[in-house]
Amino acid sequence: MLRDLSLETLVVMKLINIVGARPNFMKMAPIVRQLERHPEIAWQLIHTGQHYDDAMSRVFFEELQLPPPHVFLGVGSGSQAEQTAQMMVKLERAMQSYCPDMVLVVGDTNSALAGALTAAKLCIPVAHVEAGLRSYDRTMPEEINRLCTDCISTLFFTPSRGAGEILRREGVPADRIHFVGNVMIDTLMACRERAMQSQILETLQLEEKNYAVLTLHRPSNVDTPSTLAWLLEVIGEIAGRIPVVFPIHPRTQRRIEEFGLQPRVGTMPQVKITAPLGYLDFLKLMACAKFVMTDSGGIQEETTVLGVPCLTLRENTERPETVTEGTNVLVGRDRDKILAEACRILDGHGKVGRVPERWDGKAAERIVDVLLRWSSNPSGG
């Protein structure tokens, strides 16, 4: 077989990039775009299949122009242990077959942890994008994933100075920590213009700045019947003042059915439930909303950059700069606080913030620069 020697000699590094769940796709897209400009890095994209629906996966590949994955593991749903273990078994084979110099994982999903653990056990260095985030709440699967991934990573790409300080306090050598900015915001900036062409407001018959958006999927909010019922009650009260659009996550949909809460949801005509939306529609929906209520991590960041007030339905956040600098307010599960903050926004006094440092659309560029430097001196940072 003829081999293209010119290309082979050019390659300075082989990389495996791992995605699996919805937020991974937004974080990986700008990195892949940068890698495409650097033929000296050979790479594979592996999709674990943690999210597999068209609405949770395929639409993001299309809209974010992600190339089809080189390897699809088809792991699907399962308990935390089942899902992570199955991914590891399949990832091990994929990594042994490609023999990368480094494995890059993004965020805090089970797919990221499975990728990091499998690589570390094969003695392959791990690069963690979105390193150093801590909610200090170990009941969250994502917090366990973050802690474990950071324990075994070699390169740490952080979205904020605070995340770097946390890592240093935990003993990570300073030369391994790279403050690159926020890759999720790279995607937001790259897609903003296209998103504004979306017809989602017309489709859902909404008026700009005259509706709120709700997303809910954290196990702590949706997996207990009394908590979910209580949250829907509070949302119902807010919907008495402003229409609420609720693109519903499959986990939440399932729980509403399991807990017999459909009748309650059905009696809230001001709450518009939709299937999970694609990236562009959802970005337009957020950008034009009066405010957003969420328990997602990424949405806290996106609303901060869009300048849209965000009420986070959690007791803590691993993204404190969205509160100290951005438009985010932690309202937890305090009914009075949720309603008071919603009223404040409706009365025209929503929080105004600024965009945090290096959330400027260039994070992926910085990441690839560091990878190239590392490839020439793997023992350095």
What is the nearest approach in angstroms of ligand UD1 to the Cβ of residue 110?
A: 4
Using CB under 6 A as the binding rule, whether residue 128 contacts ligand UD1 is answered as: no
Name which of 370, 34, 95 is nearest 378 in CA terms: 370
Q: Which stretch binds ligand UD1 (CB under 6 A): 198-206, 250-258, 329-337, 367-375?
A: 250-258
CB under 8 Å to 178, separation ≥6 — which residues?
155, 156, 157, 158, 366, 367, 370, 381
d(CA 265, CA 329): 26
Q: Which is nearer to ligand UD1, 42 or 232 (CB)?
A: 232
Least Cα distance to 352 among 377, 371, 326 occurs for 326
Question: Burial letters for 185-214: b for 16+ Cβ neighbours within 10 Å, e otherwise?
Answer: bbbbebbbeebeebebbeebebeeeebbbb
133 or 306, CB closer to ligand UD1? 133
- Least distance to ligand UD1 from the beta carbon of 261, Å? 16
Binding status of residue 217 toward ligand UD1 by CB under 6 A: yes
- Helical spans, DSSP H, in the chain: 5-10, 22-35, 59-63, 80-98, 110-121, 141-151, 161-169, 183-195, 200-203, 219-222, 225-239, 250-258, 262-266, 279-287, 298-306, 321-324, 335-346, 363-376
Q: Which of 161, 176, 251, 335 binds ligand UD1 (CB under 6 A)?
A: 251
| Least distance to ligand UD1, CB of residue 297, Å | 6
Query: Virtual CA dihedral for 255, 260, 263, 265, nearest 10 degrees?
Result: -20
Nearer to ligand UD1, 44 or 57 (CB): 57
Q: Which of 17, 48, 86, 109 binds ligand UD1 (CB under 6 A)?
A: 109
- Interface characters, 283-322, with ligand UD1 (x: CB under 6 A): -------------x--------------------------
Q: Rounded CA gap, 55 and 36, in Å?
A: 26
Residues labelled as active-site residues: 217
Which one among 225, 236, 250, 332 touches ligand UD1, defined by CB under 6 A? Answer: 250
Tell the residue number behind the tokens 């990368």, with chain if given.
100
* Position among 12, 14, 38, 56 found at the interface with ligand UD1 (CB under 6 A): 56
Stretch that binds ligand UD1, among 50-58, 65-73, 115-123, 279-287 (CB under 6 A): 50-58
23 binds ligand UD1 (CB under 6 A): yes
Rule CB under 6 A: say whether 143 interacts with ligand UD1: no
Alpha-carbon separation of residue 363 from 33, 180, 202, 314 (angstroms): 12, 5, 34, 27
Query: For 8-42, b where at least 16 C-beta lie within 10 A, e where not — what string?
Result: eeeeebbbbbbbbbbbbbbbbbbbbbbbeebeebb
Nearer to ligand UD1, 223 or 365 (CB): 223
Query: Is residue 142 at the binding interface for ligand UD1, with CB under 6 A as the rule?
Result: yes
- Residue 296's region, left for phi above 0, alpha for psi from -120 to 50, else beta, is beta
Largest CA distance in the chain: 71
Smallest distance, ligand UD1 to C-beta of residue 21, A: 4
Contacting residue, 50, 118, 198, 317, with ligand UD1 by CB under 6 A: 50
User: Between residues 34 and 48, which has the closer beta carbon with respect to ligand UD1?
Assistant: 48
**Nearer Cβ to ligand UD1, position 101 or 130?**
130
Smallest gap from residue 323 Cβ to ligand UD1 (A) = 19
| 162 is a site residue for ligand UD1 (CB under 6 A) | no
Residue 204 found at the interface with ligand UD1 (CB under 6 A): no
Nearer to ligand UD1, 34 or 312 (CB): 312
CA distance 289 to 61: 25
Interface residue list for ligand UD1 (CB under 6 A): 21-23, 50-53, 56-57, 77, 108-110, 141-142, 217, 249-251, 254, 296
